[in-house]
Amino acid sequence: MAQDGLLLHVSDGDFEEQVLRSDLPVLVDFWADWCMPCRAIAPVVERMAQEYAGRLRVAKLDVDANPEIAARYGVMSIPTLLLFRGGQEVHRHVGSRVQGLREQVEAHLG
């Protein structure tokens, strides 16, 4: 696991510890370096990490470097954002349009 400011960079090896066992809800951005829509939503994901600090963890998972977790959760296209709470996926957002994402995240923050 690496950390870039408030963003966590998770991998196949530490996903369970960093995401599934987290005390806080975790928003995971499944992305790849070559993906232009992924780059387009990156600033939104980074802002959410700042805005929800202390209430939400925000992580990025490179699907090219970590295919096991992407396959386990059926991530077939990117960007895909999965929100986990208590070790369970509670929301899935596919694509670069971010309308409704904040509302879904806030609904699961409690």
Domain chopping of the chain, boundaries: 7-25+32-97
110 catalytic? Reply is no
96 catalytic? Reply is no
| pLDDT at residue number 100 | 85
User: Is-above-0.85 flag for pTM?
Assistant: yes
- 60: tokens are 């990025």
Which residue among the candidates 10, 35, 49, 56 is catalytic per the annotation? Answer: 35
Helix/strand/coil (H/E/C) assignment for every residue in 76-98: CCCCEEEEEECCEEEEEEECCCC
| pLDDT at residue number 98 | 82
Burial of 72 (0-12, 13-18, 19+ CB in 10 A): exposed
Q: Which residues of the chain have pLDDT under 70?
A: 1-5, 110
Residue 5 CA to residue 64 CA, distance in Å, equals 22
Which residue among the candidates 7, 8, 28, 38 is catalytic per the annotation? Answer: 38
Class of domain 7-25+32-97: alpha beta
| pLDDT at residue number 97 | 86
Residue 84 CA to residue 12 CA, distance in Å, equals 16
